[in-house]
Amino acid sequence: MPLICDPAEVRNLYQKAVASGVCLANFCTENSYTTEAIFRAVHEFGREHGIPDLPVIIAATGHYASEPQLLKYTHLPVADMGLSALIDEVERLAAPDSLYHPIQVMLHFDHGQPGLDDALFKQAADKFATIMFDASAMPFKHNIQATAEFVRRMAGRVLVEGAVSEIPEALGEEKLPLTTADQAEEFLQQTGVFLIVPDLGTEHRSLSAVAHYDGERARQIRDRTGKRMVLHGLSSLQEEHIAQLADDGIVKVNIWTVLERVGGEAVARFIVENLPSILPAQALKQLHYEGKVGDFFLPYIQGAGQQKREFFVETARRQVWQEAVVQKMKYFLAHLNYSRL
C-alpha cells in the first residue's frame, strides 16, 4: 500500500500498537539489500501468523556523524541522492503489483542533525511518517527551544520525535545520568513532540548485551508522559527485556547494529567454509605461507581444490547475508509481540 505519512494515520497506527501491547520495530537501513530484507522479514512473519498488513518502520540517518546512512545508500556519498534512492525503492517494493503491497510502511528520518540535515528535512517531510530532531548535544534548555521550533516548522506535515537526552556510544563515552521523569515530562510539554527519546541506560552500536536497560526508570517516565517513548540501542539489551518494552511505555525501538553483526558473521563463515571454491590454489598457497590459513587447506593448495562460480559471485554472499538478517528481524518481530496485531 502507499507509504503511510499522513500524521493522523501515523498516530492511529501507533495508537493501535499501544492498545495491542506491541512495540513497533524501527529497522534501520543504509543499502538496498537491507531495505528489501526488511520487507521480506515482515512479509514472511505476517504470512506465518495470518497478518498480511503488519506495520513496519524503515529508518535512515542523514549526516549523523557516527552512522551517516543516507551517505552510504548509493556509491556516491551524497545524502540527498541516498534519500531519493531510499524513497524510490520503498515505493517500488510497496507498489500494487508487489508481493509486499499489503505491508503498512512508515519511513523515519533518524538522528536528524540541526543545520546539517535541514535540506533533507524538507525533502523527507512529504514522504516520511516521523523525523527525529536530535538536538541532544545542546544544553537541555537549548534543546527544548530548538526542538519546539522544529515542531512548529513541521506542523501538519510530519510528526516529530525529540531526544530528551543524548544516548552514549558503546565505545567508551562518558556515562551521564539517566533521563528523569521530570526531564521527560518538561521536554514533552514544552516541545510538543509526538515521541520522546530518553536515556534508559542502553548504548548505541553495542556488539554485546552489556549495558543496563533501566525498566524501572522507563515506567516512571511512562507514568508521567504516557506510552510514547522510543528506545535507541536495542543491541545492548538482554533478551528477557525485549518483550516487556511495550508495557514499560516503549512504543518504538531502533534496530541496526545487531543486524550488521549477524549479517557480517554469516558472510565471514560462508567465505571461510568455502574458501577453496572461491580462491585459486596459488592464492591459498600465499595465504598459507603468510600464516593466515592453516594446514586444513593444504590439499586444496596442492591442487585438489577448484574454483566454483556459484561460491565466488556476489549473489552468493548476498543471499547468505540476507537469510541471516531476515531471520534476526523475524526474531525481533516475535519478541516485540507483533503476533498480537
Does residue 318 lie in a domain region?
Answer: no
37 & 168 share domain: yes
> What b/e sequence results for 152-183 when a residue is b if at least 16 CB atoms lie within 10 Å of its CB, and e otherwise?
eebeebbbbbbbbbbbbebeeeeeeebbbbeb
290 & 213 share domain: no
The residues with which 231 forms a beta bridge, in sequence order, are 253
Does residue 321 lie in a domain region?
Answer: no
234 & 199 share domain: yes
Q: Are the CB atoms for 198 and 179 separated by under 8 Å?
A: yes
What secondary structure letter does DSSP report for 265?
H
229 & 277 share domain: no
90 & 212 share domain: yes
Q: Are the CB atoms for 107 and 3 separated by under 8 Å?
A: yes
- C-alpha span between 312 and 279 (Å, rounded): 8
Helix (H, G, I), strand (E, B) or coil at 302: helix
Does residue 197 lie in a domain region?
Answer: yes
Specify the pLDDT at position 210.
Answer: 57
177 & 64 share domain: yes
134 & 77 share domain: yes
Helix (H, G, I), strand (E, B) or coil at 200: coil
Does residue 22 lie in a domain region?
Answer: yes
Specify the pLDDT at position 188.
Answer: 98
Does residue 320 lie in a domain region?
Answer: no
What secondary structure letter does DSSP report for 339?
G
- C-alpha span between 68 and 125 (Å, rounded): 19
Helix (H, G, I), strand (E, B) or coil at 150: helix
What DSSP element (H or E) covers 310? helix 309-312
Does residue 81 lie in a domain region?
Answer: yes
Tell me the residue ranges of DSSP E strands in 51-194. 55-61, 104-112, 130-133, 159-163
156, 220, 266, 275 from 216: Cα distances, Å? 34, 6, 36, 49
Specify the pLDDT at position 276.
Answer: 87
Amino acid letter, 288: H
Does residue 324 lie in a domain region?
Answer: no
What DSSP element (H or E) covers 124? helix 118-124
> What b/e sequence results for 26-51 when a residue is b if at least 16 CB atoms lie within 10 Å of its CB, and e otherwise?
bbbbbbeebbbbbbbbbbebbeeeeb
Amino acid letter, 179: T
Say how many residues make up the chain. Answer: 341
What secondary structure letter does DSSP report for 119?
H
| CATH number of the CATH domain containing 177 | 3.20.20.70
Burial tier of 24 (Cβ tally within 10 Å: 0-12, 13-18, 19+): buried
86 & 165 share domain: yes
How many structural domains is the chain composed of? 2
Provide the residue-wise pLDDT of the chain in tens; the chain has 341 residues. Answer: 789 999 999 999 999 999 999 999 999 999 999 999 999 999 999 999 999 999 999 999 999 998 999 999 999 999 999 999 999 999 999 999 999 999 999 999 999 999 999 999 999 999 999 999 999 999 999 999 999 999 999 999 999 999 999 877 655 556 678 999 999 999 999 999 999 999 998 865 555 555 678 999 999 999 999 999 999 988 767 778 899 999 999 999 999 988 999 999 999 999 999 988 888 888 888 988 899 888 888 888 877 667 888 888 889 999 999 999 999 999 999 999 999 99
For 286, the domain range is: 265-312
- pTM, rounded to two decimals: 0.93
280 & 194 share domain: no
248 & 275 share domain: no
What DSSP element (H or E) covers 230? strand 229-231
- The gap from C-alpha 298 to its chain's centroid, in whole angstroms, comes to 42
56 & 95 share domain: yes
304: cell is 585438489
280: cell is 585459486
277 & 244 share domain: no
What secondary structure letter does DSSP report for 16?
H
